[in-house]
A and B are shown apart, each in its own frame.
Chain A
């Protein structure tokens, strides 16, 4: 009999406050391997803090986080981070480096270092994968449109074939067509790579395009979690108010 694999990401009783402002009270979340989890919730509810706690960019005040069954503090930090790729909300591309060096950043230094020519070839291949032509490889991030910067960020996130990919507001600031393109790319890449994905978004069309499972974060706890197919039928009033964008409901419009 084979033993069941642990979830790829598991958060238990995670809490975090900044001064007297409590952002996360008691977060429990489990993301099975190879699935795409989308976290929804209003602005300032702690979605980005949740994500940054998993990466170790923010240290939680309480609780435990497990990645692939191991406490995130166990083992080598570089090896831990090498399992992740992340698309930041604003792209977070390095202004001083050309596009291909942004994409191949991890492949040009550290444990995954390769010869420059090989790293460039991989970068161009990843750029192609996100729908960009090789001629953008030598451009600088400031020369690209917002949509192109997101794609470059996406190419950088997948450059080292990570097991876990985080997407922070992947469609913010994009027109609906470009948002659709990015959503489709994320879905394709996650399916193709077999990676575990965690996405933060307010955009319900992104949720429906990207998610296998959805979790709603409100008031420092996960209010509802379940498969995306059950989201519309769920009875939770917080979830229903959020997904239908109603001003009236248990979530106060002025926070």
Chain B
């Protein structure tokens, strides 16, 4: 093997990665341009709101309540090492609102919604339903992608807000039920400690993660290969890409909002 071979492999991988980033960026631009231009397919948009928002509430609620409860237990036992048990309400609030709420909701949406969008659109592609849309004078980006993207941009921040509140109450129930905290003081400490920037950052992250989840589902679905294997690959790839991009975006947005 010559010295150039590993370099060529690295170069090929780098070019492949850049090409993929370019394709996704072009797809995202096209999708956004269809979101802001008429016509809007109202029925598809409302259906996407229902699927992405309302039907995700149970999984978001359960994830948040257990995480908030576990967080309270961890902070209490960890804080006890240096007599800081009293900070449970503040740390649960800041942990849920700044980080765990948006990230866990984002990852749950990637698991539940991105996979479902990718599988549905990929199946439509392999069964020629996308070609059928085109022959019926309907742009697939407008009919399939734009309603899902718009719905995710609107509804995922709301899911994050719901997740934040439920997570805080998960901590509240554990703290007041088994750790001996006063209920009124717990809520007062939570409200006093949170700042508007915490809530704004949570909602902005929700919006960004919703957009990533919907775009990855649509992109991988539209790029799907043939047959059941193509649909499987598209679904798997969409969830992997959405999860990694959500975590990367979380890091960047945390830096933007909270870097000192």
Residues of A in contact with B (beta carbons under 8 Å apart): 52, 55-57, 78, 81-82, 84-86, 88-90, 92-96, 105-106, 109-112, 156
Contact = CB atoms under 8 A, between A and B. Distances in A.
Given A109-B39, A109-B41, A92 B137 contact: no
A55 B41 contact: no
Interface stretch (B2-10, B24-32, B125-133, B240-248): B125-133
Given A109-B39, A109-B41, A92 B138 contact: no
B136 interface: yes
B131 A57 contact: yes
Contacts of A109: 39, 41, 138
A139 B41 CA distance: 22
B134 A92 contact: no
A81 B41 contact: no
Given A55-B135, A57-B135, A88-B132, 6 more contacts: A78-B137, A89-B128, A90-B127, A93-B129, A109-B138, A110-B39
B107 to A, nearest CB: 26
B137 A82 contact: yes
Contacts of B47: 96
B253 to A, nearest CB: 34
B137 A86 contact: no
Contacts of A156: 136
22 contacts: A52-B131, A55-B134, A55-B135, A56-B134, A57-B131, A57-B135, A78-B137, A81-B135, A81-B136, A81-B137, A82-B137, A84-B135, A86-B132, A90-B128, A92-B127, A92-B129, A92-B131, A93-B132, A94-B132, A105-B138, A110-B138, A156-B136
A89 B126 CA distance: 12
Contacts of A85: 135
Contact of A88 (B39, B41, B131, B138): B131
Contacts of B41: 109
Contacts of A105: 136, 138
Nearest to A113: B39
Contacts of B127: 90, 92
Interface in B107-165: 124, 127-129, 131-132, 134-138
